[in-house]
Amino acid sequence: MSSLRGLLPMGVIVTVAVAISGCTAPGGSPEEDWRQGRIVFDSERDGNFEIYVMNADGSNQQNLTNYSRDDQFPAWSPDGNRISFTSWGREDGLRAAIFAMDPDGSNVTRLSKSIGKQDAPRFPGDWASFSRWSPDGKRMLFLSSRGESVFDIFVMDADGSNVQRLSTTPGAGKLSEDPDWSPDGNLIAFNSNRDGSSQIYVMATDGSNVKRLTDTGGSGKPRWSPDGQRILFVSTGDRRSDQPLEIVELYVMNADGSNVRRLTYTTDKGESSFDGVWSPDGRKIAFVSGSGATSRAAEETRDLATTDVSARWFASREIYVMDVDGSNMQRLTFNDAFDGHPQWRPTRR
Protein backbone atom coordinates (compact mmCIF):
# COMPACT_ATOMS: atom_id res chain seq x y z
CA MET A 1 0.00 0.00 0.00
CA SER A 2 2.84 2.41 -0.77
CA SER A 3 0.40 4.62 -2.64
CA LEU A 4 -1.48 5.34 0.56
CA ARG A 5 1.60 5.90 2.68
CA GLY A 6 2.81 8.50 0.19
CA LEU A 7 -0.40 10.47 0.58
CA LEU A 8 -0.13 10.94 4.34
CA PRO A 9 0.15 14.68 5.13
CA MET A 10 3.54 16.01 6.23
CA GLY A 11 1.65 18.07 8.79
CA VAL A 12 -0.84 16.75 11.30
CA ILE A 13 -4.15 15.53 10.01
CA VAL A 14 -7.13 17.37 11.39
CA THR A 15 -10.85 17.22 11.08
CA VAL A 16 -13.43 19.92 11.49
CA ALA A 17 -17.14 19.81 11.53
CA VAL A 18 -19.59 22.54 10.97
CA ALA A 19 -23.06 23.27 12.32
CA ILE A 20 -25.72 24.53 9.99
CA SER A 21 -29.46 25.00 10.13
CA GLY A 22 -31.62 22.20 8.80
CA CYS A 23 -33.78 22.29 5.75
CA THR A 24 -36.45 20.03 4.35
CA ALA A 25 -36.89 19.10 0.74
CA PRO A 26 -40.37 19.41 -0.69
CA GLY A 27 -42.56 16.46 0.14
CA GLY A 28 -40.45 14.89 2.87
CA SER A 29 -39.47 15.25 6.50
CA PRO A 30 -35.90 16.18 7.43
CA GLU A 31 -35.30 12.67 8.77
CA GLU A 32 -36.40 11.11 5.47
CA ASP A 33 -34.41 13.47 3.25
CA TRP A 34 -30.84 12.65 4.22
CA ARG A 35 -31.49 8.91 4.11
CA GLN A 36 -32.52 9.16 0.46
CA GLY A 37 -29.03 10.28 -0.56
CA ARG A 38 -26.11 8.24 -1.85
CA ILE A 39 -22.53 8.20 -0.54
CA VAL A 40 -19.52 7.14 -2.59
CA PHE A 41 -16.43 5.95 -0.70
CA ASP A 42 -13.36 3.74 -1.01
CA SER A 43 -12.74 0.49 0.84
CA GLU A 44 -9.97 -2.06 1.28
CA ARG A 45 -12.39 -4.80 2.30
CA ASP A 46 -11.44 -7.04 -0.66
CA GLY A 47 -7.68 -6.75 -0.25
CA ASN A 48 -7.00 -3.59 -2.24
CA PHE A 49 -8.78 -0.24 -2.49
CA GLU A 50 -11.86 -0.03 -4.72
CA ILE A 51 -14.68 2.49 -5.11
CA TYR A 52 -18.07 1.69 -3.58
CA VAL A 53 -21.41 3.44 -3.28
CA MET A 54 -24.17 3.03 -0.68
CA ASN A 55 -27.39 4.61 0.48
CA ALA A 56 -26.91 7.33 3.08
CA ASP A 57 -28.19 4.96 5.79
CA GLY A 58 -25.48 2.38 4.92
CA SER A 59 -27.73 0.01 2.99
CA ASN A 60 -27.29 -1.29 -0.55
CA GLN A 61 -23.46 -1.16 -0.69
CA GLN A 62 -22.19 -1.79 -4.23
CA ASN A 63 -18.69 -2.18 -5.67
CA LEU A 64 -18.10 0.11 -8.68
CA THR A 65 -14.48 -0.65 -9.63
CA ASN A 66 -12.56 -3.90 -9.92
CA TYR A 67 -8.90 -3.16 -10.58
CA SER A 68 -5.79 -5.07 -9.47
CA ARG A 69 -4.21 -2.02 -7.85
CA ASP A 70 -5.83 0.81 -5.88
CA ASP A 71 -8.77 3.06 -6.81
CA GLN A 72 -9.28 5.81 -4.22
CA PHE A 73 -10.53 9.31 -3.33
CA PRO A 74 -13.89 9.40 -5.16
CA ALA A 75 -15.70 12.70 -5.77
CA TRP A 76 -19.13 13.42 -7.30
CA SER A 77 -19.56 15.89 -10.12
CA PRO A 78 -21.97 18.74 -9.19
CA ASP A 79 -24.81 17.20 -11.24
CA GLY A 80 -24.26 13.76 -9.67
CA ASN A 81 -23.77 12.13 -13.09
CA ARG A 82 -20.04 11.36 -12.84
CA ILE A 83 -17.58 10.21 -10.19
CA SER A 84 -13.92 11.15 -10.42
CA PHE A 85 -11.32 9.03 -8.64
CA THR A 86 -7.60 8.33 -8.41
CA SER A 87 -6.30 5.09 -9.89
CA TRP A 88 -2.77 3.83 -9.28
CA GLY A 89 -0.84 2.46 -12.28
CA ARG A 90 -3.86 2.06 -14.56
CA GLU A 91 -3.15 2.29 -18.33
CA ASP A 92 0.39 3.59 -18.82
CA GLY A 93 2.00 2.72 -15.50
CA LEU A 94 2.14 6.19 -13.93
CA ARG A 95 1.96 6.14 -10.16
CA ALA A 96 -1.47 7.76 -10.13
CA ALA A 97 -3.89 9.41 -12.54
CA ILE A 98 -7.39 10.86 -12.30
CA PHE A 99 -10.28 9.09 -14.01
CA ALA A 100 -14.04 9.61 -14.12
CA MET A 101 -16.91 7.14 -14.47
CA ASP A 102 -20.68 6.98 -14.46
CA PRO A 103 -22.38 6.32 -11.08
CA ASP A 104 -22.78 2.62 -11.97
CA GLY A 105 -19.04 2.20 -12.64
CA SER A 106 -19.31 2.25 -16.45
CA ASN A 107 -17.79 4.59 -19.02
CA VAL A 108 -14.40 5.03 -17.34
CA THR A 109 -12.41 7.90 -18.89
CA ARG A 110 -8.94 9.16 -18.04
CA LEU A 111 -8.74 12.90 -17.27
CA SER A 112 -5.17 13.67 -16.19
CA LYS A 113 -2.63 13.25 -19.00
CA SER A 114 0.91 11.93 -19.25
CA ILE A 115 3.47 14.56 -18.40
CA GLY A 116 6.46 15.23 -20.66
CA LYS A 117 9.76 16.84 -19.70
CA GLN A 118 8.80 20.04 -21.48
CA ASP A 119 5.96 20.46 -18.98
CA ALA A 120 8.13 20.03 -15.88
CA PRO A 121 8.25 23.69 -14.79
CA ARG A 122 4.48 23.96 -14.48
CA PHE A 123 3.64 20.35 -13.70
CA PRO A 124 6.57 18.86 -11.78
CA GLY A 125 5.11 15.49 -10.86
CA ASP A 126 4.46 12.37 -12.92
CA TRP A 127 1.14 11.70 -11.20
CA ALA A 128 -2.11 13.38 -10.22
CA SER A 129 -4.45 12.57 -7.33
CA PHE A 130 -7.33 13.76 -5.12
CA SER A 131 -9.75 15.49 -7.48
CA ARG A 132 -12.46 18.04 -6.56
CA TRP A 133 -14.97 19.42 -9.10
CA SER A 134 -15.75 23.13 -9.23
CA PRO A 135 -19.38 24.04 -8.37
CA ASP A 136 -20.18 24.61 -12.06
CA GLY A 137 -18.56 21.31 -13.07
CA LYS A 138 -16.20 22.97 -15.56
CA ARG A 139 -12.93 22.66 -13.65
CA MET A 140 -11.24 20.28 -11.25
CA LEU A 141 -8.72 20.76 -8.45
CA PHE A 142 -6.10 18.08 -7.92
CA LEU A 143 -2.71 17.41 -6.35
CA SER A 144 0.64 16.69 -7.91
CA SER A 145 4.07 16.20 -6.37
CA ARG A 146 7.50 17.82 -6.39
CA GLY A 147 8.86 14.71 -4.67
CA GLU A 148 7.74 11.94 -2.34
CA SER A 149 4.95 13.22 -0.06
CA VAL A 150 5.44 16.85 -1.14
CA PHE A 151 2.27 18.16 -2.78
CA ASP A 152 0.99 21.29 -4.48
CA ILE A 153 -2.47 22.25 -5.77
CA PHE A 154 -3.31 22.38 -9.49
CA VAL A 155 -6.47 23.02 -11.50
CA MET A 156 -7.53 21.71 -14.91
CA ASP A 157 -10.59 21.79 -17.11
CA ALA A 158 -12.98 18.91 -16.48
CA ASP A 159 -11.76 17.15 -19.64
CA GLY A 160 -8.15 17.21 -18.38
CA SER A 161 -6.97 20.15 -20.49
CA ASN A 162 -5.61 23.57 -19.51
CA VAL A 163 -3.57 22.53 -16.45
CA GLN A 164 -2.54 25.40 -14.17
CA ARG A 165 -0.56 25.40 -10.95
CA LEU A 166 -2.16 27.27 -8.03
CA SER A 167 0.31 26.78 -5.18
CA THR A 168 4.10 26.66 -5.00
CA THR A 169 4.79 25.99 -1.35
CA PRO A 170 8.27 27.21 -0.43
CA GLY A 171 10.76 25.12 1.54
CA ALA A 172 11.88 21.49 1.70
CA GLY A 173 9.17 19.24 3.05
CA LYS A 174 6.51 21.93 2.70
CA LEU A 175 3.18 21.18 1.03
CA SER A 176 -0.31 22.41 0.21
CA GLU A 177 -3.11 19.86 -0.12
CA ASP A 178 -6.75 18.86 0.47
CA PRO A 179 -8.30 21.72 -1.56
CA ASP A 180 -12.04 22.36 -1.54
CA TRP A 181 -14.09 24.90 -3.57
CA SER A 182 -16.41 27.31 -1.81
CA PRO A 183 -20.04 26.80 -2.95
CA ASP A 184 -19.98 30.05 -4.95
CA GLY A 185 -16.76 29.01 -6.70
CA ASN A 186 -14.86 32.14 -5.61
CA LEU A 187 -12.51 30.68 -2.98
CA ILE A 188 -10.48 27.53 -2.34
CA ALA A 189 -9.84 26.26 1.19
CA PHE A 190 -6.81 24.03 1.75
CA ASN A 191 -4.28 23.03 4.38
CA SER A 192 -0.55 23.70 4.33
CA ASN A 193 2.45 23.42 6.63
CA ARG A 194 4.17 26.43 5.01
CA ASP A 195 4.32 28.24 8.36
CA GLY A 196 5.36 25.23 10.43
CA SER A 197 2.46 23.04 11.58
CA SER A 198 -0.44 22.19 9.28
CA GLN A 199 -3.07 24.98 9.20
CA ILE A 200 -6.17 25.92 7.17
CA TYR A 201 -5.89 28.63 4.50
CA VAL A 202 -8.12 30.12 1.81
CA MET A 203 -7.06 31.58 -1.54
CA ALA A 204 -8.61 32.98 -4.70
CA THR A 205 -9.21 30.51 -7.53
CA ASP A 206 -6.10 31.76 -9.34
CA GLY A 207 -3.92 31.01 -6.29
CA SER A 208 -3.63 34.63 -5.13
CA ASN A 209 -4.66 36.34 -1.89
CA VAL A 210 -3.72 33.49 0.45
CA LYS A 211 -5.12 33.98 3.97
CA ARG A 212 -4.55 31.81 7.03
CA LEU A 213 -7.65 30.88 9.08
CA THR A 214 -6.41 28.63 11.94
CA ASP A 215 -3.68 29.09 14.51
CA THR A 216 -3.83 26.20 17.00
CA GLY A 217 -2.79 22.57 16.79
CA GLY A 218 -2.44 20.76 13.50
CA SER A 219 -5.43 21.40 11.26
CA GLY A 220 -6.44 20.14 7.83
CA LYS A 221 -8.98 18.63 5.43
CA PRO A 222 -11.25 21.70 5.19
CA ARG A 223 -14.75 21.23 3.75
CA TRP A 224 -17.16 24.12 3.07
CA SER A 225 -20.74 23.89 4.31
CA PRO A 226 -23.36 23.97 1.52
CA ASP A 227 -24.27 27.57 2.35
CA GLY A 228 -20.61 28.65 2.40
CA GLN A 229 -20.90 30.02 5.96
CA ARG A 230 -18.81 27.39 7.79
CA ILE A 231 -15.85 25.11 7.31
CA LEU A 232 -15.55 21.58 8.65
CA PHE A 233 -12.00 20.39 9.35
CA VAL A 234 -9.84 18.08 11.45
CA SER A 235 -7.48 19.14 14.20
CA THR A 236 -5.37 17.84 17.04
CA GLY A 237 -6.33 20.90 19.08
CA ASP A 238 -3.55 21.60 21.55
CA ARG A 239 -2.75 17.97 22.23
CA ARG A 240 0.70 16.47 21.66
CA SER A 241 1.56 12.87 20.82
CA ASP A 242 4.36 10.87 19.25
CA GLN A 243 1.59 9.39 17.12
CA PRO A 244 -0.31 12.52 15.96
CA LEU A 245 -2.40 10.63 13.40
CA GLU A 246 -4.19 8.95 16.28
CA ILE A 247 -5.41 12.09 18.11
CA VAL A 248 -7.47 13.95 15.51
CA GLU A 249 -11.05 15.12 15.94
CA LEU A 250 -13.64 16.96 13.85
CA TYR A 251 -14.16 20.67 14.36
CA VAL A 252 -16.20 23.42 12.74
CA MET A 253 -15.61 27.15 12.37
CA ASN A 254 -17.06 30.15 10.60
CA ALA A 255 -15.72 30.79 7.11
CA ASP A 256 -13.51 33.59 8.45
CA GLY A 257 -11.85 31.28 11.01
CA SER A 258 -13.85 32.48 14.03
CA ASN A 259 -16.06 30.52 16.44
CA VAL A 260 -14.14 27.21 16.40
CA ARG A 261 -16.08 24.34 17.98
CA ARG A 262 -15.19 20.70 18.57
CA LEU A 263 -17.72 18.15 17.29
CA THR A 264 -16.30 14.71 18.13
CA TYR A 265 -14.69 13.22 21.24
CA THR A 266 -13.63 9.83 19.94
CA THR A 267 -9.99 10.12 21.06
CA ASP A 268 -11.32 9.86 24.62
CA LYS A 269 -11.91 6.18 23.86
CA GLY A 270 -8.71 5.55 21.89
CA GLU A 271 -10.09 6.31 18.45
CA SER A 272 -9.99 9.27 16.05
CA SER A 273 -12.38 11.01 13.64
CA PHE A 274 -11.54 12.57 10.27
CA ASP A 275 -12.60 12.96 6.60
CA GLY A 276 -15.81 14.81 7.50
CA VAL A 277 -18.18 15.86 4.67
CA TRP A 278 -21.53 17.66 4.67
CA SER A 279 -24.81 16.27 3.42
CA PRO A 280 -26.24 18.36 0.55
CA ASP A 281 -28.86 19.94 2.83
CA GLY A 282 -26.26 20.77 5.51
CA ARG A 283 -28.06 18.77 8.19
CA LYS A 284 -25.70 15.78 8.50
CA ILE A 285 -22.00 15.02 8.43
CA ALA A 286 -20.54 11.75 7.18
CA PHE A 287 -17.09 10.97 8.57
CA VAL A 288 -14.54 8.23 9.26
CA SER A 289 -13.67 6.93 12.70
CA GLY A 290 -12.05 3.99 14.44
CA SER A 291 -9.03 2.89 16.42
CA GLY A 292 -7.00 1.74 13.44
CA ALA A 293 -6.68 -1.66 15.08
CA THR A 294 -7.04 -4.93 13.16
CA SER A 295 -7.83 -8.47 14.16
CA ARG A 296 -4.87 -10.86 14.48
CA ALA A 297 -6.01 -12.67 11.32
CA ALA A 298 -6.15 -9.43 9.39
CA GLU A 299 -2.71 -8.39 10.64
CA GLU A 300 -1.22 -11.70 9.58
CA THR A 301 -2.89 -11.49 6.17
CA ARG A 302 -1.74 -7.94 5.48
CA ASP A 303 1.57 -8.17 7.41
CA LEU A 304 1.00 -4.91 9.27
CA ALA A 305 3.77 -3.83 11.62
CA THR A 306 2.22 -2.77 14.92
CA THR A 307 4.85 -0.03 15.28
CA ASP A 308 3.98 1.49 11.87
CA VAL A 309 1.63 4.42 12.49
CA SER A 310 0.70 4.73 8.82
CA ALA A 311 -0.20 1.03 8.68
CA ARG A 312 -2.55 1.39 11.64
CA TRP A 313 -3.95 4.60 10.15
CA PHE A 314 -5.18 2.67 7.12
CA ALA A 315 -6.23 -0.42 9.02
CA SER A 316 -9.74 -0.71 10.49
CA ARG A 317 -11.76 2.48 9.98
CA GLU A 318 -15.49 2.78 9.42
CA ILE A 319 -17.90 5.39 8.04
CA TYR A 320 -20.37 7.08 10.37
CA VAL A 321 -22.97 9.82 10.06
CA MET A 322 -23.98 12.37 12.71
CA ASP A 323 -25.95 15.57 13.16
CA VAL A 324 -23.99 18.78 12.57
CA ASP A 325 -23.70 19.43 16.30
CA GLY A 326 -21.90 16.09 16.78
CA SER A 327 -24.90 14.24 18.22
CA ASN A 328 -26.81 11.18 17.05
CA MET A 329 -23.87 9.20 15.60
CA GLN A 330 -24.76 6.18 13.50
CA ARG A 331 -22.35 3.62 12.03
CA LEU A 332 -22.80 2.84 8.31
CA THR A 333 -20.06 0.31 7.46
CA PHE A 334 -18.92 -2.82 9.31
CA ASN A 335 -15.62 -4.23 8.03
CA ASP A 336 -12.29 -5.25 9.52
CA ALA A 337 -10.66 -2.97 6.93
CA PHE A 338 -10.38 0.67 5.91
CA ASP A 339 -13.63 2.26 4.70
CA GLY A 340 -13.09 5.95 4.07
CA HIS A 341 -13.08 9.15 1.99
CA PRO A 342 -16.90 9.42 1.84
CA GLN A 343 -18.52 11.92 -0.53
CA TRP A 344 -22.24 12.70 -0.49
CA ARG A 345 -23.99 12.82 -3.88
CA PRO A 346 -25.16 16.37 -4.66
CA THR A 347 -28.88 17.01 -4.69
CA ARG A 348 -30.20 17.23 -8.25
CA ARG A 349 -31.34 20.73 -9.16
Other residues' Cβ atoms within 10 Å of the Cβ of residue 6: 18
Return the C-alpha torsion angle 238, 241, 245, 249, nearest 10.
-30
DSSP helix/strand/coil, 266 = helix
Quickly state the pLDDT bin for 345 (edges 50, 70, 90): very high
Quickly state the pLDDT bin for 151 (edges 50, 70, 90): confident
β-pair partners for 40: 53, 343
Quickly state the pLDDT bin for 25 (edges 50, 70, 90): very low
For residues 128 and 115, the answer to whether their CB atoms sit within 8 Å is no
Other residues' Cβ atoms within 10 Å of the Cβ of residue 137: 14
Architecture of domain 2-344: 6 Propeller (2.120)
Mean pLDDT, rounded, of the chain: 80
Q: What is the pLDDT of residue 89?
A: 76
Averaged over 198-224, what is the pLDDT?
94
Q: What is the pLDDT of residue 293?
A: 60
β-pair partners for 141: 132, 155
Gyration radius of the chain's alpha carbons? 19
Cα separation, 280 vs 255, in Å, equals 18
Quickly state the pLDDT bin for 153 (edges 50, 70, 90): very high
Percent of the chain with pLDDT over 90: 57
User: Which letter, b or e, does each residue of 249-280 get, where b requires 16 or more Cβ atoms within 10 Å of its Cβ?
Assistant: bbbbbebebeebbebbebbeeebbbbbbbbbb
Higher-pLDDT residue of 162, 120: 162
Higher-pLDDT residue of 278, 310: 278
Q: What is the pLDDT of residue 310?
A: 45
Cα separation, 289 vs 248, in Å, equals 10
How far from 67 is each of 41, 130, 137, CA to CA, in Å?
15, 18, 26
Provide the residue ranges of all domains of the chain, joining segments of one domain with +: 2-344
Return the C-alpha torsion angle 28, 32, 33, 37, nearest 10.
-140
Q: What is the pLDDT of residue 315?
A: 65
Q: Which of 20-24, 81-85, 196-200 has the highest mean predicted lDDT (pLDDT)?
A: 81-85
Model pTM?
A: 0.83
Question: Which of 122, 115, 163, 120 lies closest to 141 in space, CA to CA?
Answer: 163
Other residues' Cβ atoms within 10 Å of the Cβ of residue 328: 10
For residues 264 and 289, the answer to whether their CB atoms sit within 8 Å is yes
Averaged over 62-81, what is the pLDDT?
93
